[in-house]
């Protein structure tokens, strides 16, 4: 015991010194470096172990190289690249130019017109529609979801996939290895595989992390593509809406059923994910069937992730906020903004735009929620309207800008979605679809209460100090 007591302080100081060198060599934001150094100074052994598990916010050299190798694997055939569905800058409002250019530089995807978007909020309605489309599939079904569980909801999709596979439809499913862990341990997974469904984990977690530098980098996307003609994407997961979050309530989501040329871009994202995680490059004309114009919506799919520093959702978000002139309405389940996002929100309000942010009153992640509440006072002081939703766990990730364009997808307003997760969002251009999405946001507002600056400042210290403490960890969340 005496020997341990003698060596322990020396070991702890050795860890502190070494980790200072390691962290300062990393190209992290100074505030993130400071947060890590603080944790390691006070808890050197624990801090070092945590840093080794989640301190590196990139894929690792091998995995990043693999990801770059499959980039573009799902690019459209040249004949389709010249399709009349491609919109031009002149067809859209001038104030959207920066938004469009930024999104295209990140994703490589141009705007496609001629689409139809059916917004779906009810979980049962979404699953009913997805199962019906799988049952009608003739060639293939492609699915990638962060959470896919074999509960009463998931089993319905599993059964539909089994039926499709048995009649010769190629069914390929990627489910995040962490978010969908119960699925891979279930009988439903074995039954799907036996029926001919190709089921694989995305970003598998292993103790040695041979292929993954940071174990909590996740594929947070939600995509389903049927026959290259129909696609689903948004905030829904394939899981019961209660999802066990009794404290926060049932999830409240919003997704879209997409038809038209935009389906090709969802297909390309899936093909890249499949090539990356499975090592199989899918080819064939049936993956990209000719798609006629079916609606009036111009759209653009923007996948983001940690493969490259520039491929971040933050860039898309700030471009959208900077494009606003009159009004921004934003919903997110997790609000932990970094400095650039805070600045963009504040600048939008200072130039006269009405900015409304809606978050759930109760969250399924108490620490993340507490860290987010620390920013409330700054947002309120900047003239931003804050609302807390009381109808459940508001999980919809939506942004509407003026009356001109909107975003719908999987990304939250937190550091994880900015830097760590593979996300997918779709930009929807035009007054009609923007108005439709804002109607959904108005329904959230009708069940929300405003947060006032005076009232917020009066909350007890027993809440203020834990929020301040949680905020110190926000660069690491």
Task: Please report the pLDDT score of residue 302 as a whole number.
Answer: 94
List own/partner pairs for 102-105 with CB under 8 A and 24 or more apart.
102/315, 102/316, 102/319, 103/300, 103/302, 103/316, 103/319, 103/427, 104/300, 105/310
Q: Is 128 marked active-site?
A: no
- pLDDT tier at 257, thresholds 50, 70, 90: very high
CA 47, 49, 50, 52 dihedral sign is positive
Does the structure show a pLDDT above 70 at 90? no
Does the structure show a pLDDT above 90 at 117? yes
Which residue would you say has higher pLDDT here, 87 or 51? Answer: 51
pTM: 0.86
Does the structure show a pLDDT above 90 at 395? yes
Q: Is 326 marked active-site?
A: no
Q: What CA–CA distance (Å, rounded) separates 17 from 44?
A: 10
Range with lowest mean pLDDT among 77-91, 163-177, 194-208 = 77-91
- pLDDT tier at 147, thresholds 50, 70, 90: very high
Task: Please report the pLDDT score of residue 167 as a whole number.
Answer: 96
Range with lowest mean pLDDT among 167-171, 373-377, 435-439 = 373-377
For the stretch 9-44, pLDDT in tens is 777 778 778 777 777 766 666 667 777 777 787 777
Does the structure show a pLDDT above 70 at 52? no
Task: Please report the pLDDT score of residue 95 as a whole number.
Answer: 66
Percent helix, strand and coil across the chain, each to the nearest 5: 45, 20, 35
Domain 62-86+116-294 carries which CATH code? 3.30.870.10
| Orientation angle between helical segments 313-323 and 97-107, nearest 10 degrees | 170
Q: What angle do CA 457, 461, 465 make, to 5 degrees?
A: 100
Task: Please report the pLDDT score of residue 444 as a whole number.
Answer: 97
Q: Is 140 marked active-site?
A: no
For the stretch 259-317, pLDDT in tens is 999 999 999 999 999 999 999 999 998 999 999 999 999 999 999 988 765 557 888 89
The residue from 133, 151, 227, 253 that is catalytic is: 227
Task: Please report the pLDDT score of residue 62 as a whole number.
Answer: 47
Q: Is 116 marked active-site?
A: no
Q: Is 211 marked active-site?
A: no
Which residue would you say has higher pLDDT here, 16 or 430? Answer: 430
The residue from 140, 162, 200, 222 that is catalytic is: 222
Task: Please report the pLDDT score of residue 228 as a whole number.
Answer: 97
Task: Please report the pLDDT score of residue 231 as a whole number.
Answer: 98
Is 62-86+116-294's fold the same as 313-476's?
yes
The residue from 162, 200, 236, 397 that is catalytic is: 397
| Orientation angle between helical segments 30-42 and 44-54, nearest 10 degrees | 140
- pLDDT tier at 206, thresholds 50, 70, 90: low
Which residue would you say has higher pLDDT here, 23 or 434? Answer: 434
Which residue would you say has higher pLDDT here, 71 or 113? Answer: 113
Structure token digits, residue 20: 């200072």
Q: What CA–CA distance (Å, rounded) separates 377 from 384?
A: 10
Q: Residue 289 in contact with residue 398, Cβ under 8 Å?
A: no
Taking residues 339-343, what's their average pLDDT?
Answer: 91
- pLDDT tier at 72, thresholds 50, 70, 90: low
Does the structure show a pLDDT above 80 at 190? yes
Does the structure show a pLDDT above 90 at 215? no
Domain segments of the chain: what residues? 2-55, 62-86+116-294, 313-476
Q: Residue 297 in contact with residue 433, Cβ under 8 Å?
A: yes
Task: Please report the pLDDT score of residue 24 as a whole number.
Answer: 72
Q: Residue 362 in contact with residue 249, Cβ under 8 Å?
A: yes
The residue from 220, 273, 338, 414 that is catalytic is: 220
Average predicted confidence (pLDDT) for the chain: 85
Task: Please report the pLDDT score of residue 64 as a whole number.
Answer: 47
The domain made up of 313-476 has a fold known as Endonuclease; Chain A (3.30.870)
**Which residues are CB-neighbours of 309 under 8 A, at least 6 positions away?**
none
Q: Is 402 marked active-site?
A: yes
Taking residues 354-378, what's their average pLDDT?
Answer: 90
């Amino acid at each position: 015991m005496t020997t341990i007591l003698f060596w322990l302080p020396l070991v702890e100081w050795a860890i502190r010194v070494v980790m200072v060198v390691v962290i300062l060599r990393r190209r992290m934001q100074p505030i993130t470096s400071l947060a890590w150094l603080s944790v390691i100074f006070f808890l050197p052994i624990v801090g070092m172990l945590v840093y080794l598990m989640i301190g590196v916010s990139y894929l690792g050299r091998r995995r990043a190289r693999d990801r770059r190798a499959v980039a573009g694997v799902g690019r459209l055939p040249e004949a389709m690249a010249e399709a009349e569905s491609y919109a031009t800058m002149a067809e859209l409002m001038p104030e959207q130019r920066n938004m469009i250019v930024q999104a295209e530089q990140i994703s490589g995807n141009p705007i496609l017109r001629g689409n139809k978007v059916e917004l779906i909020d009810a979980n049962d309605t979404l699953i009913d529609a997805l199962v019906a489309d799988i049952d009608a599939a003739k060639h293939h079904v492609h699915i990638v979801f962060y959470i896919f569980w074999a509960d009463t909801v998931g089993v319905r999709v599993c059964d539909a996939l089994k039926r499709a596979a048995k009649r010769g439809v190629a069914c390929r499913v990627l489910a995040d290895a962490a978010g969908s862990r119960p699925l891979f341990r279930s009988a439903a997974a074995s039954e799907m595989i036996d029926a001919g469904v190709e089921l694989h984990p995305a970003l598998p977690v292993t103790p040695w992390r041979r292929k993954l530098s940071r174990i909590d980098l996740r594929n947070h996307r939600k995509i389903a593509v049927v026959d290259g003609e129909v696609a689903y994407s948004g905030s829904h997961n394939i899981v019961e809406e209660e999802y066990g979050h009794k404290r926060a309530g049932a999830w409240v989501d919003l997704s879209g059923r997409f038809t038209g040329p935009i389906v090709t871009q969802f297909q390309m994202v899936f093909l890249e994910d499949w090539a990356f995680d499975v090592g199989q490059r899918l080819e064939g004309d049936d993956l990209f069937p000719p798609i006629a114009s079916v609606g009036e919506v111009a759209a653009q799919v923007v996948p983001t992730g940690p493969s490259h520093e520039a491929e971040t959702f933050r860039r898309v978000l700030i471009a959208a906020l900077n494009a606003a002139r009159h009004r921004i309405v934003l919903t997110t389940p997790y609000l932990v903004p970094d400095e650039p996002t805070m600045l963009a929100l504040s600048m939008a309000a200072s130039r006269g735009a009405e900015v409304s942010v809606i978050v759930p009153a109760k969250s399924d992640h108490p620490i993340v929620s507490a860290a987010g509440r620390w920013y409330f006072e700054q947002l309120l002081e900047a003239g931003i309207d804050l609302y807390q939703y009381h109808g459940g766990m508001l999980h919809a990730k939506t942004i509407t800008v003026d009356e001109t364009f909107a975003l719908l997808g999987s990304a939250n307003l937190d550091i994880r979605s900015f830097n760590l997760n593979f996300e997918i969002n779709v930009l929807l251009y035009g007054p009609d679809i923007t108005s439709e999405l804002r109607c959904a946001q108005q329904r959230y507002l009708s069940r929300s209460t405003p947060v006032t600056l005076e009232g917020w400042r009066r909350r007890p210290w027993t809440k203020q100090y834990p929020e301040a403490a949680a905020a110190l960890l926000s660069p690491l969340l």
